[in-house]
Structure formats: structure tokens, C-alpha cells
Amino acid sequence: MTDPFSAVAALGVVPVIAIDDARDAIALADALLEGGLAVAEITFRTAAAAETLAILRDARPELLIGAGTVLDLGSLEAAIAAGARFGLAPGFDPEIVETAAMRGLPFAPGVMTPSELGAAVRRGVRLAKYFPAGAAGGPKALEAIAAPFAHLGVRFVPTGGVSMDTMADWLKMKSVAAVGGTWIARSEDIRERRFADIARKARAAVDRAAEIRGAAQ
């Protein structure tokens, strides 16, 4: 089975999604797939997260599904039971990282400082969410934080404040595997069933990531 984080890195962008109603899961998945974005981070910010993951696992297995905002062991176990292929969190919790490793779930904790990153690396983490990417200082800050860990192959998924306009600033960095984007499938777009808009934004993000990566080669 392909490493899910390798698949995320190949796309260069992952939509960060807070879905309120699991009944919208299939239409959302189809919009992302239509846009060529075969990955979704379903965040545990809403009560519908686990049910949404389970629906997508069974009905749209071609979509690589991950669980975001995993803040406690209960959410971690719910995500695993619902079929999440990977997990992410906005912060670093050693217990969650260690439990995810024991349960065989690829997991990217959030970091913002060298100390957090160092603690994560000691527990085997080689992909971390950089959050909140914009407020934490942007690409220059990440570049400085990442430099002492570069020889270990540590990479990042900046999330929080990333947009179509700033994707290039992040993806041109060798340490960045992908960016996380909330703009692709916003909660209000899902609630109002603007799935054609979601498909369009997904396609634009995928195409832009490929363009940036191609220019950097």
C-alpha cells in the first residue's frame, strides 16, 4: 500500500475540511475527485467527522482520507475505526504521536518551534504540520526552523493562512511536502452545496501546485 504522505506530497496540496453534515460526504468527495484532488483531511472540529470518514471509506475508496484536528486519544481511535489513512493535529502531543505509531497510523503532529520539532523528531516524526503557518512567521520562519533538521529528512505541511496566492512561497521550499488549504472546500460552500465551485477550486489548486513544482525543477 502506498504511503499516504507520499501521495499527499505528490499532489502538493491537501484540502482541510470541516463538514457539518455527513450526508454531504459523497457529493464533497465527487467534487474533489472531479477536480483531480484525490485526498481529503476531514477535521474533528465537527461531530460529523467520524461518520464522514466511514462513509467515504466505504463509498469512495479512491479518495485518500485523513483525519485532522486529532486532539485526544478518543478522536484518534474514532479516526482509525472510521478508516482514516493518516492523521494530523495542530499541536504536538507525545501520547497521541506514540499511540498513532503503535496503531500503525501515519501521523503528522503540529509544530511551531524548534523545541516542538525536536521533541517530535525524537519520537520518529518525519512529517509535521507547520501551524499556524502564516501567523507563525511565514516561509522565512519555517526555513529557519527546518534548517537544523534538514539532514534528518524532516518535511512539513504548512497550514493556516495558506492560499492560492501564497502557495508558491511555500511549495518552492524543499522541506515542504504539501500545503494544507481551507479555501478549497469551505464549510459554507459544503452547506450551500456549491460543489461545482469546490471542484473548480480543487482543480485550480492541483494545477497551481504542479506548475510551481515544475518551475522549481
- Considering the candidates 129, 172, 174, 211, report the single residue annotated as catalytic: 129
Whether the per-residue pLDDT at 217 is higher than 70: the answer is: no
The reported pLDDT for the residue numbered 216 is: 67
Stated pTM of the model: 0.96
Domain assignment of residue 70, given as a range = 4-216
- Considering the candidates 41, 51, 77, 201, report the single residue annotated as catalytic: 41
Rounded to an integer, the average pLDDT of 78-96 is: 98
Across the chain, mean pLDDT equals 97
Helical ranges in the chain per DSSP H = 4-11, 25-34, 49-59, 73-81, 94-102, 114-122, 138-146, 167-171, 187-191, 195-216
Rounded to an integer, the average pLDDT of 190-199 is: 98
The percentage of residues in the chain with a pLDDT greater than 90, rounded to a whole number, is 97
CATH assignment of the domain containing 69: 3.20.20.70
Q: Are 9 and 177 in contact (CB under 8 A)?
A: yes
Total count of domains within the chain: 1
What is the spatial order of strands in the sheet that 155-158 belongs to?
110-111, 127-130, 155-158
Rounded to an integer, the average pLDDT of 169-196 is: 97
| Number of Cβ within a 10 Å radius of residue 172 | 13
In tens, the pLDDT along 10-54 reads 999 999 999 999 999 999 999 999 999 999 999 999 999 999 999
- Is residue 129 among the annotated active site residues? yes
- Is residue 140 among the annotated active site residues? no
Give CA–CA dist 73/204, Å, rounded.
35
DSSP 22: G
User: C-alpha dihedral over 81, 49, 76, 39, to 10 degrees?
Assistant: 80
The percentage of residues in the chain with a pLDDT greater than 70, rounded to a whole number, is 99
